């Protein structure tokens, strides 16, 4: 895997984004962020 591909993988699959309320971009794109954010609110 090339360096740009590694970065994109890390950026989308591992890095949490402050502008997305600290969920990963992949979680946002698949709709899993709603459940994650809901769990945080009840904790």
Direct distance between the N- and C-terminal alpha carbons of the chain, in angstroms, rounded to an integer: 39
- Indicate the DSSP class of residue 1: -
Domain count, the chain: 1
- pLDDT score for 43: 82
Of 10, 7, 41, nearest in space to 33 by CA: 41
- pLDDT score for 37: 97
pLDDT in tens, 16-34: 999 999 999 999 999 999 9
Q: What is the pTM of this model?
A: 0.79
**What whole-number distance in Å separates Cα of residue 35 and Cα of residue 19?**
17
What domain range includes position 20? 3-42
């Amino acid at each position: 895997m090339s360096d740009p591909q590694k970065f994109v993988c890390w950026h989308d699959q591992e890095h949490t984004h402050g502008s997305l309320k600290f969920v990963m971009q992949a979680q946002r794109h698949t709709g899993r962020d709603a459940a994650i954010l809901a769990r945080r609110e009840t904790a």
